[in-house]
Structure 1
Amino acid sequence: MTTIPSRLARLTSSSGSWPVAQARARSLYRQWYRGAPEIVQIYALNVPAHAIRAKVREMFDRNAQVTDVEAVDILLLKGYQEYQETINCWKMDRSVFVSLHAAQIYLKIDPGVGNSHVMRFFAAEELPARPATFLDAFYASRDDAGEVQPTA
C-alpha cells in the first residue's frame, strides 16, 4: 500500500448545528467501518475485520452521550486524525511506544514480535479483571513465596 498523505487530507471544520455534527459522525463511522479490511491487511493483524468493526463501534458508543456540538467537533477531529494515520500506515510498531509498556507487562507481549499499535485497542479486553473488594485486591497484591528471595 502506497502512502499518499493528501489522499485523506481535509480541512478542519466545525459543525454549525447538531444534525450536521451527527452527519459528520456517521460519515466518520462509515469510513472506519469500510476501512477495517484494509487495516487488517496493512498491519497483518491476526484478528478478523469484524473484530475491528466491533471495537470501532465500542469507541463510538463510548462517546454517544456527548451532546455539546463543540465537543463532538473535537472528537470528530481526533477520530479522523486517528483514521488518517492508521490508513496511511503512519503508526509505529508497538515496541516503540513507551506508553504501552504497561500493556506489554500485563499481556506478556514480547516487544520484538512486531505487534501492531492497532492491537492496543484490544488491550483492555486482555487485561486481568480488577478485584471487586478491598480484600480481593489485598490478597492479589501479596507476594508469592517463590518470587521473593530472602536477603542473606
Structure 2
Amino acid sequence: MASQAVRGGARQVKPLLSLDNEEARKRALNLYKAWYRQLPYIVRQYDIPKSVEQCRQRLREEFKKHECLTDVRVIDMLIIKGQMELKETVHVWKQKGHIMSYFKPTAEPKPTDFLSKFLQGVN
C-alpha cells in the first residue's frame, strides 16, 4: 500500500519539448544566439536609445536570472515564451514602449518611517 502511494506521488510527466536537461540547455543556447544575432536589427528598427552592447548585457542578465532552473518543463516553457517574444519583436508586432520596458530601473523601496514619508511627500 505504501509503495503504491510512493509510485503515485512520483508520477512521470510528459515533456513539452526537451527530453533531458542537456537538450533543454541546447535549446536555451539556440534561443540566446537567435536573440544575440537579432539585437542590432531590433535596436535599429525600433530606434531605441540604447546601444547594441547595452541590449546584449540586458539579454545576458535575463538569461542569467534563470540559470538555476533544473525542471525541464519550466525551462521548455520559458524557451517557448522567449521564442514568441523574439518573433513578435522581429516582426514589429510590438511598440517601442514594450521594448523599453525591459530596461526599467529597479523600483526603489517606499519609505517606512514618518520622517522619510514626510520628506518625500508620501501619505
TM-score, normalised on structure 2? 0.76
Moved over 4 A (4+): none
Q: CA deviation at 1:66?
A: 1.0
Provide the rounded CA distance (Å) in 2 between the counterparts of 1:30 and 1:60. Answer: 11
CA RMSD in angstroms comes to 2.0
Q: CA deviation at 1:44?
A: 1.1
What secondary structure, in the 3-state scheme, does the structure 1 residue paired with 2:25 have?
helix
Q: CA deviation at 1:137?
A: 5.7
1:19-73: CA deviation from partner (whole Å, max 9, x where unpaired): 0000000000011111110100110112111111111111111111111000000
Tell me the equivalent position of 1:142.
122
Q: Which runs of 5+ in 1 are unaligned?
A: 1-12, 93-114, 144-152
Contact preservation (8 Å) 1:45, 1:116: no
Tell me the equivalent position of 2:70.
67
Tell me the equivalent position of 2:13.
none
Tell me the equivalent position of 1:86.
89
Q: Which runs of 5+ in 2 are unaligned?
A: 1-15
TM-score, normalised on structure 1? 0.63
Question: How many pairs does the alignment contain?
Answer: 106
Q: Who wins on radius of gyration, i.e. which is larger?
A: 2
Provide the rounded CA distance (Å) in 1 between the counterparts of 2:99 and 2:23. Answer: 29
